[in-house]
Structure 1
Amino acid sequence: MSEALRPMVKSRLYEQVLERLREHVTEAGLSAGDRLPAERDLAASLGVSRASVKQAIVVLEVQGLVEARHGGGTYLVRDTLDVEPVEQLVERRKRLPDVLEAREALETKLAELAAERRTDAELEDIRQALVFMGEEIENGANGVEGDRRFHAAVTAAAHSSLLADFMTTIATQITESRTESLRQPGRPSRSLAQHTAIFEAIVAGDGKKAAAAMRRHVRTVAKVRLLAWVPED
């Protein structure tokens, strides 16, 4: 059947609110740290219920675009509201648990093997990845590229071609989980600290400690707002 004849998706009211909020941020020249209008004011201006506005704010929180402070309003985290389509969020929410489960199984073993098999040159590659991630975070980024380099360097140090192939197979999904995790408030610095603990165990040649540190890290990666979000019909 033609792709053009796929089932129609009815636009949810809060998705329309999201689009209006995106336009407002642009037109008003708002930037990171600025406060959005109160939910009741938004509801009145847009002619919708506060429930619809609240649903839109939750979606923005899930995407790490705003920070809702209890009793203190909602503030922009970035200079724009580049909102990801809700349907994409829903689909990624379905995929994420399986990806995180696979990452824990694969990367825990990779860290253990890296501690046992790494060379001095590979230790330096891991260290350089940590330095790069730290610099990214200091410059206001989430550290996504440094995170990628770190896990790639650990994988290389494990000297397991089959496990490396498995990691390559799910590379796209791993990138999704990495981005999702690192956009959580406070997560980049916490991730860097956990990477450092993994590195220190690998340097010490302690496979069990490296595996345990990696397991703790991946379980932290799994703690994302997207998985707690219940999409509204």
Structure 2
Amino acid sequence: MEFKRISSQKISEKVEEQIVRLIKEGSYKQGDKLPSVRELCESLDVGRSAVRDALTTLKGRGLVEIRQGEGAFVTGFNPKRYFKHMLMPNQKEIESLFQVREILEASIVKLAAVNRSENDLMAMRKALNHMSVCKYDESGQHDCQFHMAVANATGNPILHQLLESISSSMEKSMADFHRLIASEPELIHDIHHQHESIMEMIICEDASGAYEAMMLHLSYVKKQMRKGFSIRSEYIQTH
């Protein structure tokens, strides 16, 4: 396991590249402690500031965890780190996140139709039953549980984590949207019917049909979401 000496141009970036290379090559695995700042300085023949800057960047990318008094450790891939800064996104960011969600769920639902198990279907049905009994609670909790169950049915934990991260980032800003739905029986009926259609296609292992049902649902949700933003904007202007 050897580090290569590097030129003085963009030193911290080159330090970062070498650490990433060693992680990719498997020299350092998840949970492993990286050499100390002093050891990295000596191995790479660079200054302490370059090493610290590189480690700070790697921490921001979610590749390294810095523990006070212990050092830097290699972390596993966690999509949540890429969204945690968006604690309360604005309308434009919500629109962008929703666009990502559309792209993601289009793939998720097709995979779910192919890979779903009976346990996955039970989880979907449980979420739908809760929505039916609660008549759609304002938090949107059971709605989210349904979509998470679909994501889990793909058998791909990264897809599940990505959707969970996006949903969590949108949660607070979507409060008006969920309240709007909870207040209108027609919207509750429409969304419940759309979820039922998605599940029916997944039960039938119809990937194409599941995709169409999901995109129809998300298009409807986007329309109502924008309506929720409009209501909030009008309220702010008149108070």
TM-score range, shorter chain: 0.5 to 0.7
- With over 3 angstroms needed to count, the CA separation of the structure-2 counterparts of 1:91 and 1:149, relative to structure 1, is closer
1:161 aligns with 2:157: yes
Q: Residue in 2 aligned with 1:192?
A: 192
Q: Structure 1 length as normaliser, TM-score? A: 0.54
Q: Structure 2 length as normaliser, TM-score? A: 0.53
**What is the percent sequence identity of the aligned residues?**
25
Give the superposition deviation at 1:213.
0.8
Match of 1:92 among 66, 90, 93: 90
Give the superposition deviation at 1:91.
5.5
Q: Residue in 2 aligned with 1:144?
A: 140
CA displacement 1:65-86 (0-9 Å, x = unmatched): xxxxxxxxxxxxxxxxxxxxxx
Q: Residue in 2 aligned with 1:129?
A: 127
Structure-to-structure mapping, 1:2-41, within 5 angstroms: none
Q: What SS class does the counterpart of residue 214 from structure 2 fall into?
A: helix
Structure 2 Cα separation of the partners of residues 115 and 97 of structure 1: 27
Instruction: Point out the structure with max Rg over C-alpha.
Output: 2
- The amino acid that maps onto 2:178 is L
Match of 1:171 among 163, 167, 173: 167
- With over 3 angstroms needed to count, the CA separation of the structure-2 counterparts of 1:190 and 1:218, relative to structure 1, is same
Task: Give 5+ residue unaligned stretches, structure 2.
Answer: 1-87
CA displacement 1:134-158 (0-9 Å, x = unmatched): 1110xx7347121021011101101
Q: Please tell me whether the aligned partners of residues 177 and 228 of structure 2 are also in contact (alpha carbons under 8 angstroms).
A: no
CA displacement 1:102-126 (0-9 Å, x = unmatched): 1111112111111100011111111
Task: Give 5+ residue unaligned stretches, structure 1.
Answer: 1-89
Q: Residue in 2 aligned with 1:110?
A: 108
- The amino acid that maps onto 1:144 is G
Match of 2:178 among 178, 182, 187: 182
Q: Residue in 2 aligned with 1:201?
A: 201
Q: Please tell me whether the aligned partners of residues 148 and 163 of structure 2 are also in contact (alpha carbons under 8 angstroms).
A: no
Q: Please tell me whether the aligned partners of residues 133 and 143 of structure 1 are also in contact (alpha carbons under 8 angstroms).
A: no
Give the superposition deviation at 1:177.
6.2
Q: Please tell me whether the aligned partners of residues 111 and 207 of structure 1 are also in contact (alpha carbons under 8 angstroms).
A: yes
Higher relative contact order, chain-length normalized (CA < 8 Å, sep 6+): 1
Structure 2 Cα separation of the partners of residues 178 and 217 of structure 1: 16
- The amino acid that maps onto 1:204 is C
Q: What SS class does the counterpart of residue 193 from structure 2 fall into?
A: helix
